[in-house]
Amino acid sequence: MTAVGIIAEYNPFHNGHAYHLAQAKLLTGANTAVVVMSGNFVQRGTPAIFDKWQRTALALEGGADVVYELPFAFAVQPAHLFARGAIQLLADAGVDTIVFGAEHAQLDFLSLAKQAHTLLMNNAAFQSDYTQTYATVFNDVLAQATGARISEPNDLLGFAYATAVLELGLANKIQLLPIQRIGASYHQTKITDSQIASATALRSLMQQQVSIEEYGAFVSKKAANLLSQGQQTKDWSTAWYSLLQYKVLTSPVEELEQIYQLNDGLANRLKEQITRQTDSSYETFMTTFKSKRYTWSRLQRTLLYTLLNVQQQEMQTALAQPYLRLLGASKAGRLFIKQHRKDVSLPVINRVTSEDTTGILTLDYRAGKLYELMARQPVQQAMDTGRIPLFSE
């Protein structure tokens, strides 16, 4: 059996994702689609609107055959670390082609990655200019040398995937295949297509508390039912922000400085802004906390690390020990896993043990407990302990 790899968040799963899965199989001739999916928190540092089990069920319904969880240590990171973790997992799982959507599928992402690596490492501005974001400096350097700029979100991820393939020494093992993104753009908040709406637009629609019928053209019946009920967790800007305020106000700066990425004066800045703005809204706080040096997403991730008390060394340890956590599989997916079992070198987790929760799964277990705590309704099952993979036909 052959398999094609997909990297996703499915927040939520919609018709565009189903199209992507179908095209991935069609273009590669693979009979199995292996997905690496973010867990309960997505890349920008916010909780997924539905937990990883609900999103796995929707993915299996929509054409995925195997769903592995992208560990928290990689899932809630900037593009290069997000991509590195996902590529490593897919390669070890046994895929030989990774298909991803791109705004400009004609770009040779691998070639651009090869050029950019040398350019960036030898560019003084990239190493020392803190008045601009990583993406801005990178694009300035790349445009100067090649005439190309990468600004669209899926194109940026495509470049990150190509860079990860090179850095992991997988260029002869893994083929990258971009396919043209169709329908709504990634950040589009309004629905303009009759069948495909962006995940951003669907989340925006969910905030408006529309009826289940409003989702019918864009997602499955199961997904429409979930969307009509609203997001699974309490609102970040209210309930979660209150927890953050408590954490920061009761922690000395010296302790905050031990949190992952809360360095270079950010701990002091966070403490100062939270203390000054005890009665302000989350949006007001973020407007003053943000600077030219850091994107909103970068700071949002840092705030999540703060809530979870993720220590610097703890994150480095997690990044050094990736694993394959199976969330679900179809009949074809289970056959693929069985046939490739002997070729897998990473630790494989199907059922979480108490030893896992204090070892290799430390961060994911803690993140799962926080997600449970902030659920709008009591969760019926814990996120990790006592769970087994979802199986479908």
Say if residue 184 carries a ligand binding annotation. Answer: no
Enumerate residues 6+ apart whose C-beta is below 8 A from 36.
5, 6, 7, 8, 68, 69, 70, 86, 89, 90, 93
**Cα–Cα distance list, 222 to 54, 97, 109, 209, 231 (Å):** 10, 30, 36, 17, 14
Say if residue 181 carries a ligand binding annotation. Answer: yes
Strands 324-329 and 66-70: antiparallel
Say if residue 11 carries a ligand binding annotation. Answer: yes
Neighbouring CB atoms inside 10 A of 248's CB total: 20
Say if residue 94 carries a ligand binding annotation. Answer: no
Say if residue 9 carries a ligand binding annotation. Answer: yes
Q: Which residues pair with 294 in a beta bridge?
A: 291
Say if residue 80 carries a ligand binding annotation. Answer: no
Say if residue 16 carries a ligand binding annotation. Answer: yes
Quote the crossing angle between the two packed helices 221-229 and 52-61, to the nearest 10°. 150
Say if residue 20 carries a ligand binding annotation. Answer: yes
- The tokens for 293 are 């040096």
Say if residue 182 carries a ligand binding annotation. Answer: yes
Strands 348-349 and 97-102: unpaired
Say if residue 134 carries a ligand binding annotation. Answer: no
Neighbouring CB atoms inside 10 A of 377's CB total: 8
Strands (E), the chain: 3-8, 32-38, 66-70, 97-102, 175-180, 324-329, 348-349, 390-391
Say if residue 101 carries a ligand binding annotation. Answer: yes
Could you give phi then psi for residue 33, rounded to 5 degrees? Answer: -110, 115
Tell me which residue has tokens 């630790």: 347
Closest CA to 117 of 165, 170, 174: 165
Say if residue 10 carries a ligand binding annotation. Answer: yes
Neighbouring CB atoms inside 10 A of 136's CB total: 14
Secondary structure of residue 179 in the 3-state scheme: strand
Neighbouring CB atoms inside 10 A of 141's CB total: 18
Annotated binding site for ATP: 7-20, 101, 154, 181-182
Annotated binding site: 7-20, 101, 154, 181-182
